[in-house]
Structure 1
Amino acid sequence: MSSADGPAAPASARRGARSGPPLTRAQVLAAGVALADREGLGGLSMRHLSAELGVVPMALYKHVADKHDLVAGMIDLVVAGYAAPPPGLEWRDGVRRRVLAARDALLEHPWLRPAIEAATERTPAVLAHMDAVAGELAAGGLSYDLVHHAMHALGHRIWGFSPEAFSSPVPPSASPGPAPSSAEQEAMMTAMAARFPHIAAIAIDTVARHPMGACDEQFEFEFTLDLLLESIARLHATGWASR
């Protein structure tokens, strides 16, 4: 049914119409974070987000230029919320607290890692976190030469993740087809030990220490972080300088 002003809006659109004050960019970004938390980046679209907010898709473009700008703003929103360490900490503790705060956010928002890996710009919020980590190092008296190389060594760890040489095994329930029998598993392990003895030894030791056979990702992350910080401290103590 239509009127002199044109076709009536579909009932679904009328039911989802937003009421109240106009949207702000902060509301759009917060809604984007909530949607990505539930459905991942794959479920995030301007149309889906507009439906969540009860507005037409074009209304979002007053606040974000496109999906790229939306995701960049979402990254900034999360990064700006990283918990800062209390003042007065020894520099290694300060860096550790900042890095683990970033990891906490990453575990809370699983979409954040692929978003950061795909990002092509360093926004003010991103630069502020990098500057804060570098500032903790510099506050410990490290030369900016060593701070520079320490930041390279920390790499993606300042965002709470790192590339791993060993990926977690796929749970049996997620594997296609029937699980191998005990005899088949033993035969596979024997063949692997013959061809890749050290990898097999690591796998055997891991299973012995962890019945589920999986690495403890949080432990591995903190182990490497502490190893790096201790090594950086030793270089600082010797007055290291790059060549």
Structure 2
Amino acid sequence: MTPQTEAAPRAPLSRGRVLSAAVALADGIGIEALSMRRLAQELGVVPMALYKHVANKEQLLDGMVETVVGEIDPPAPGSHWQGAVRQRILSARAALLGHPWAAQVIRSRTGPTPAVLAHMDSVIGMFRGGGFSVDLTHHVMHALGSRVLGFTQELFDAAPGPGPEGRPAVPPEAAAAYPHVTELAMAAAHDGDSVVGGGCDDQFEFEFALDLLLDGFERLRQKGWTSSARRSRSGGGLIA
């Protein structure tokens, strides 16, 4: 009689294992298809077993955000503030690009999770350590917005489909009505996977805007910019 081979013991369920499995599952099937039941099936447990580690779907999503944000590289020690902030933000972008659903879930949270707060605190600390006042840092963080976490909300989600030779198809009547929009759309380099519009290179556009902001922040720091002085010059508003 051939002896039966014993099955390898299943790894015990833990919060970390639940969250890692949820992240991997969302990567594979999309965040909309993720459910507690589907996750339990993936882990080979009954759905009730998950609730010992996450109380509900909202806690699961919070934990998934924590897991993804935990992939962001730590700050490089001893770096100049500008290089350190740039590296930190681009690392955040790489982490979120690895999980296409993550930006949507972060936007859906009612408040920042502890890992997101820790990331923001780190970036703020880089500005403060680089000689930025609390006042300037406050406005810098507003200017960066979601770029701190490596993503932006574009004005339009999609561009016209490509026509011959990979250029966007622009109806003649639209080209006549909006000549400047058409000019840019026809002149831009195109990448079929872009979300920026017109098939532009998303990573290039992100870094282009980020570098403009960081250079501008440094000029303001060197000038000793304050919001109170700017308001007094512009009659109460921030725009002169």
Structure 1 residues 23 and 186: CA distance shift in structure 2, 3 A: closer
**1:64 match:** 54
Structure 1 residues 72 and 187: CA distance shift in structure 2, 3 A: closer
Larger radius of gyration: 1
Matches within 5 A, 1:118-157: 118-157=108-147
Structure 2: give runs of 5+ residues left out of the alignment: 1-7, 229-240
Distance 1:186 1:130 in 2: 38
Distance 1:138 1:146 in 2: 9
Q: Does 1:20 align with 2:10?
A: yes
Q: Secondary structure in 2 aligned to 1:163?
A: coil
Q: Does 1:215 align with 2:200?
A: yes
Distance 1:237 1:149 in 2: 15
The answer on whether the counterparts of 1:102 and 1:160 sit within 8 Å (CA) in structure 2 is yes
Distance 1:222 1:123 in 2: 26
**2:172 match:** 190
Structure 1 residues 187 and 141: CA distance shift in structure 2, 3 A: closer
Number of residue pairs the alignment of both structures matches: 216
Distance 1:68 1:51 in 2: 19
Q: Secondary structure in 1 aligned to 2:72?
A: coil
Distance 1:209 1:74 in 2: 30
**2:83 match:** 93
**2:99 match:** 109
Distance 1:164 1:50 in 2: 36
Distance 2:217 2:144 in 1: 10
Q: Does 1:47 align with 2:37?
A: yes
Q: Given residue 194 of structure 1, which amino acid in structure 2 is its aligned partner? A: A
Structure 1: give runs of 5+ residues left out of the alignment: 1-17, 173-180
Residue 164 (structure 1) shift: 1.5
Q: Given residue 58 of structure 2, which amino acid in structure 1 is its aligned partner? A: H
- Please state which structure has a larger fraction of its residues in helix: 1
Report the TM-score, using the length of structure 2 for normalisation.
0.82
**1:3 match:** none
Q: CA RMSD for the aligned pairs? A: 2.6
Report the TM-score, using the length of structure 1 for normalisation.
0.81
Query: Once superposed, which parts of structure 1, at least 4 consecutive aligned residues long, lie more than 6 Å away?
Result: none
Distance 1:121 1:202 in 2: 38
Deviates more, 1:63-72 or 1:163-172: 163-172
Q: Does 1:78 align with 2:60?
A: no
The answer on whether the counterparts of 2:189 and 2:200 sit within 8 Å (CA) in structure 1 is no
Q: Secondary structure in 2 aligned to 1:81?
A: coil
Q: Given residue 204 of structure 1, which amino acid in structure 2 is its aligned partner? A: M
**1:204 match:** 186
Distance 1:125 1:85 in 2: 14
Structure 1 residues 53 and 19: CA distance shift in structure 2, 3 A: farther
Distance 1:196 1:158 in 2: 34
Structure 1 residues 55 and 232: CA distance shift in structure 2, 3 A: same
Q: Secondary structure in 2 aligned to 1:83?
A: coil
Identity %: 51
**2:237 match:** none
